[in-house]
Amino acid sequence: MLKDITLGQFFPLDSPIHKLDPRLKIMFTLAFIVLVFFADSIPGYLAVMLFLGITVKLSKIKFRIVLKSAKPLLFIIIFTSIINLFFTGGENVVFQWKFLKITETGIVNAVNMALRLLFLVMGSSLLTYTTSPIMLTDGIERLLSPFAKIGLPAHELAMMMTIALRFIPTLLEETEKIIMAQKARGADFESGNIFKKAKALIPVLVPLFISSFRRADELATAMECRCYRGGKNRTSMKQLKICGIDWVALAVMIVFTACIVLIDIFNLNIMGY
């Protein structure tokens, strides 16, 4: 049951999006996030939607799955929309009931916010859906490595991520075992209010912590036995190389950026700022 949980789920498919260099993919995702905030008009949103749609289509991942990625954030999306809807000032009041009033700007803001958040989540989950955790950490390490000179522990951060990803399933399995062991001794995890339930987890967390420390100790010894001495003078079996498909993607991304920026400028012009 617990074992099915995956963080940053990855769908191993064979698609051009999967084949993209992880470094570029991370940069593109960051650019996409920025661009989403630039696009605040109907043509802008259409452009973003079109771009996202084509990317999803190319990635061979079902649109439904990408849409579902926004589910955990549904509450936040609805909440911010409602706040925007009711608490934005403005002159053209559309609807008023006692102290609640909805203005035209409010509606626009609410829709803006909801769409932005939705695009944000969908765009960034597409990154984890199409990039394996290993590639992702690899990409992050390479992207951060220029900052190593100013003291940023790029390799160490990536190593920590790799180990964390590696141990998530192991620790989940262990948690399950401890829960079963405690249940067998009469522990009750289901009844009571939230505080009682939280308290019931202490006998699970204590052994889990102790065993994690023991694991960490053993892993450190095993890593030393395999000549690990930090990131210095380390090579990597898998080499990242920018190739044909990456250049195409880069060109597409530049065109997309130009579109959004142009739409933005054009909009400002007609609105007369």
Partner 1 sequence: MIEVKDLVYSYVSDTGDNEEVLKNINLKINKGEFVAILGHNGSGKSTFAKHLNAIHLPLGGKVYIDGIDTSDTEKLWDIRSKVGMVFQNPDNQIVASIVEEDVAFAPENLAIDPAEIRKRVDEALETVGMSEYKNHAPHMLSGGQKQRVAIAGIIAMKPDIIVMDEPTAMLDPIGRREVIKTIEDLNQKYGITIVLITHNMDEAVKAQRVVVIDGGQIKVDDTPRNVFKNVELIKSIGLDVPQVTMLAYELRKVGFDIRDDVLTVDECTEEIYKLCQ
Q: What is the DSSP letter of 8?
A: S
**Quick check: 159 and 45 in contact, CB under 8 A?**
no
Q: Closer to partner 1 at the Cβ: 3 or 68? A: 3
81 contacts: CB under 8 Å, gap ≥ 6: 110, 111, 113, 114
Q: Closer to partner 1 at the Cβ: 22 or 44? A: 22
The closest alpha carbon to 7, from 211, 169, 123, belongs to 169
**Quick check: 48 and 35 in contact, CB under 8 A?**
yes
Token reading at 205: 């967390």
> Minimum distance from CB of 203 to partner 1 (Å)?
23
Q: Report the length, in residues, of the chain.
A: 273
> Minimum distance from CB of 153 to partner 1 (Å)?
17
> Minimum distance from CB of 33 to partner 1 (Å)?
26
Q: Closer to partner 1 at the Cβ: 96 or 170? A: 170
Q: Which amino acid is at 98?
A: K
Q: Which amino acid is at 166?
A: R
Q: Closer to partner 1 at the Cβ: 156 or 224? A: 224
Contacts with partner 1 by CB under 8 A lie at: 132-134, 162-163, 165-166, 169-170, 173, 215, 218-219, 221-229, 233-239
> Minimum distance from CB of 258 to partner 1 (Å)?
37
> Minimum distance from CB of 162 to partner 1 (Å)?
6
Scan for tokens 């949103």, then name that residue.
Answer: 45
Residue 119: exposure state from Cβ atoms within 10 A (0-12, 13-18, ≥19): buried
> Minimum distance from CB of 124 to partner 1 (Å)?
21
Q: Closer to partner 1 at the Cβ: 185 or 229? A: 229
Scan for tokens 């690899």, then name that residue.
Answer: 138
3-state secondary structure of 96: strand
3-state secondary structure of 41: coil
Q: Closer to partner 1 at the Cβ: 18 or 116? A: 18
